[in-house]
Amino acid sequence: MRAVAFSRPGGPEVLELLEVPVPVPGPGEVLVKVAAAPVNPVDIGARAGAFAALLPEREHYVPGVEFSGWIEAVGPEAGSAQAGQPVIGLIPWLASFAGSYTDYLVIPAELVAAAPTGVDLTAAATLPLNGITADLAVTAAGAAPGRRVLVTGAAGGVGGYAVLLAAAAGATVIAVAGAGDEDLVRSLGAHEFATRGADLARRLGANGVDAVIDAALLGGAVLPVVRDGGVFVALLPTVAPPAERGITVTAVQQAPDGRRLAELVDLVESGALTLRVAETYPLTEAAAAHARFEKGGLRGRLVLLP
């Protein structure tokens, strides 16, 4: 089978197409024929060397943390998994270093969920990573009727899902994004809109919201808008500001979770979650997809198609 891999850190040019053996599912695992593999910041970081200190010595590493596809084979003790079933999933990449930029992958059956019906598998592949991350962030923010929740980076992958999920939970959502993104984020459910910028906190005013979901990684720059005793949810521990004024500062600790993913699939099928694909690339053009990702400005996901 084919796999896109890197053997040393660097730019998109270090990605190469290899022929490798098809993996065999062990106890509790399934073999998935990959239909689509989105490009994520974590893939870019892995290729560029962000996790170099964590990588064991091996010939190559296959990036990619999420996917859609069909179960090809089922290992022993894999529960109710069945061959032919369309599924989506999130890979614990730092445990295997064998990602989704490939024709086939093996993953624990408990980490996959049935793909949403009525949605093509290219779009379905974009749900696991950003969907689970946003769901955890919205839960941590305590989104509920009567609460005002501000989402930075609201036009992005995680931010867009956070707007959708917080609005679905009944919260009043204030979306922060670029000036040209207002129509988009309002279509996702935002009730109020603010353009991003260095004076954001001044424009929004102090103590104005119950919680911030900081998908844009602004950190302490946006902390003043949270009321005393409110909540600040960071997506990375490194950008979580020091707590003050009784504010609870928490960093989302995302992890593969098949059950949580299945709940998000239900929201997709009900129309409460919208999946967005910006562009697709064949697996053989993974380097070009990485280069396009690094240019920024995407409103939707880049997806590799084996």
Tell me, letter by letter, the H, E, C secondary structure of the chain: CEEEEECCCCCHHHCEEEECCCCCCCCCEEEEEEEEEECCHHHHHHHHCCCHHHCCCCCCEECCCEEEEEEEEECCCCCCCCCCCEEEEECCHHHHCECCCECEEEEEHHHEEECCCCCCHHHHCCCHHHHHHHHHHHHHHCCCCCCEEEEECCCCHHHHHHHHHHHHCCCEEEEEECHHHHHHHHHCCCCEEEECCCCHHHHHCCCCEEEEEECCCCHHHHHHHEEEEEEEEECCHHHCCCCCCCCEEEECCCCCCHHHHHHHHHHHHHCCCCCCEEEEEEHHHHHHHHHHHHHCCCCCEEEEEC
Task: Give me the CATH number covering residue 101.
Answer: 3.90.180.10
Identify whether 244 is part of a domain: yes
- Are 137 and 164 contained in the same domain? yes
For residue 195, what pLDDT is reported? 92
| 146-178 residue pLDDT tens | 999 999 999 988 999 999 999 999 999 999 999
pLDDT for the residue numbered 252: 92
In tens, the pLDDT along 220-236 reads: 999 999 999 999 999 98
Query: What mean pLDDT comes out for the span 294-306?
Result: 90
**Does 85 share its domain with 175?**
no
198 pLDDT more than 90: no
User: Does the pLDDT value for residue 207 go beyond 80?
Assistant: no
Query: What mean pLDDT value characterizes the chain?
Result: 94
**In this predicted structure, what is the pLDDT of residue 247?**
96
Compute the average pLDDT of residues 76-91. 93
In a domain, 267, yes or no: no
Residue 87 placed within a domain: yes
Q: Is residue 266 part of a domain?
A: no
pLDDT at 42 over 80: yes
Q: What is the pLDDT of residues 276-299, one digit of tens each?
A: 899 999 999 999 999 999 998 778
The pLDDT of residue 104 is: 98
| 130 band by pLDDT with thresholds 50, 70 and 90 | very high
CATH code of residue 159: 3.40.50.720
The domain containing residue 289 runs over which residues?
Answer: 2-126+275-305
pTM for this entry: 0.91
For the chain, percent of residues with pLDDT exceeding 70: 100
121, 145: one domain: no
Domain count, the chain: 2
Does 15 lie in the same domain as 104? yes
Whether 6 and 122 map to the same domain: the answer is: yes
Residues 117 and 157 in one domain: no
